[in-house]
């Protein structure tokens, strides 16, 4: 039987990826809510054909869009998933078991997100895990209105947990898409995040790029991803450099 929670998805021109996500979660929750920000590629028709309730909402940033979606769900428990993410059968089973007999012991749960490199079908060997808070009880855990990221604030005194199962994140269709997407997110972050001291920004302009590359390539083990792992680490570290550079320019305008 479907679990009494809602599945929430943001979308914009995701017709080539959304179907895989919807197929993976179709038996999990009582409803699927897709918040679409103006797709023109058939995303809406695809989502509706697979039983989702599609609601249009103009894009105002990552946090506001997900926050709006939470208000449209009929259930308090919400499993949020991006249109380019696919939960593994193990994660689906774990979430189902969590609601089997009684309400979950925590009010929010982190999901182990695993990146899939552009063009690949599955994560590379020794793929790293990035924990993201995606399963939440909106009565006690809500997404903020921060445009640049999905920050979840949990009510003081409430506890959170971590699920063992993974979901696979097909973040970039190809490296051209990766470069364009990172350019957008770095601009959004630079314009919306709090101002930083100029001296700190100039220091980070020098040290962030090499440190970020080492973090992705060695610590997060993209070294095992071959040439794609190397290219991905370069693109990600340049994204950090690009954000700091844009913040420096913003500071110069003040």
The CATH number of the domain holding residue 35 is 3.90.550.10
Task: Specify the higher pLDDT residue, 4 or 10.
Answer: 10
Which residues touch 201 (CB under 8 Å, ≥6 apart)? 244, 247, 248, 251
Domain count, the chain: 2
Parent domain of 194 = 175-253
User: Taking 90 as the threshold, does the pLDDT of residue 101 lie above it?
Assistant: no
- One domain for residues 163 and 236: no
Query: Do 102 and 12 sit in the same domain of this protein?
Result: yes
Q: How far, in Å, CA of 92 to CA of 167, rounded? A: 9
Residue 241 half-sphere exposure toward CB, CA atoms < 13 A: 14
Mean pLDDT of 115-142: 94
Residue 100: pLDDT band by 50, 70, 90 thresholds?
confident
pLDDT tens digits, 187-211: 999 999 888 999 999 999 999 999 9
Which of 116, 151, 169 lies at the terminal end of a domain, its last residue? 169
Instruction: Tell the burial category of 127 from Cβ atoms under 10 Å away from its Cβ (0-12, 13-18, 19+).
Output: buried
Same domain membership, residue 195 and residue 117:
no
Q: For residue 55, what pLDDT is reported?
A: 98
pLDDT in tens, 149-183: 999 999 999 999 999 999 999 999 999 999 999 99
Same domain, 8 and 91: yes
Is pLDDT above 80 for 254?
Answer: no
Looking at the fold, whether 50 and 76 belong to one and the same domain comes out as yes
Check whether residue 145 and residue 218 sit in a common domain.
Answer: no
Tell me which of 152, 169, 186 is where a domain ends: 169
The whole-number pLDDT of residue 1 equals: 60
Q: Confidence class of residue 125 from pLDDT cuts 50, 70 and 90?
A: confident
154-142-101 Cα angle (round to 5): 75
In percent, the amount of the chain with pLDDT more than 70 equals 99
Same-domain pairing of 17 and 118: yes
Distance CA 150, CA 147 (A): 8
Last residue of a domain, one of 169, 187, 210: 169
CA distances to 185, 193, 245, 251 from 201, rounded to whole Å, are 18, 13, 8, 9
Selection from 170, 162, 168, 20 nearest residue 94 by Cα: 162
The answer to whether the CB of 188 falls within 8 A of the CB of 61 is yes
* Per-residue model confidence (pLDDT) at position 143: 96
- How many residues are given for the chain? 254
Secondary structure (3-state) at 149 = coil
Q: pLDDT grade, residue 238 (50/70/90)?
A: very high
Same domain flag for 210 and 120? no
């Amino acid at each position: 039987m479907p679990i009494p929670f809602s599945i929430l998805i943001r979308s914009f021109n995701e017709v080539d990826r959304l179907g895989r996500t919807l197929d993976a979660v179709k038996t999990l929750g009582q409803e699927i809510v897709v918040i679409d920000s103006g797709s023109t590629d058939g995303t809406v028709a695809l989502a509706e054909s697979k039983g989702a309730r599609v609601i249009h909402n103009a894009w105002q940033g990552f946090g506001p869009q997900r926050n709006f979606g939470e208000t449209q769900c009929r259930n308090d428990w919400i499993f949020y998933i991006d249109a380019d993410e696919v939960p593994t059968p193990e994660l689906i089973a774990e979430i189902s078991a969590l609601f089997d007999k009684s309400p979950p012991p925590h009010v929010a749960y982190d999901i182990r997100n695993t990146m899939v490199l552009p063009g690949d079908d599955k994560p590379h060997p020794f793929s790293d895990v990035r924990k993201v808070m995606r399963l939440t009880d909106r009565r006690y855990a809500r997404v903020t209105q921060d445009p640049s990221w999905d920050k979840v604030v949990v009510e003081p005194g409430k506890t959170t947990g971590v699920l063992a199962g993974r979901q696979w994140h097909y973040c970039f269709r190809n490296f051209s898409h990766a470069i364009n997407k990172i350019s957008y997110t770095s601009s959004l972050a630079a314009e919306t995040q709090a101002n930083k001291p100029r001296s700190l920004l100039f220091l980070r302009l020098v040290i962030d790029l090499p440190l970020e590359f080492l973090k992705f390539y060695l610590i997060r083990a993209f070294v095992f991803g071959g040439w794609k792992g190397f290219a991905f680490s370069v693109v990600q570290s340049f994204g950090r450099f690009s954000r700091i550079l844009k913040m420096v320019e913003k500071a110069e305008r003040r």
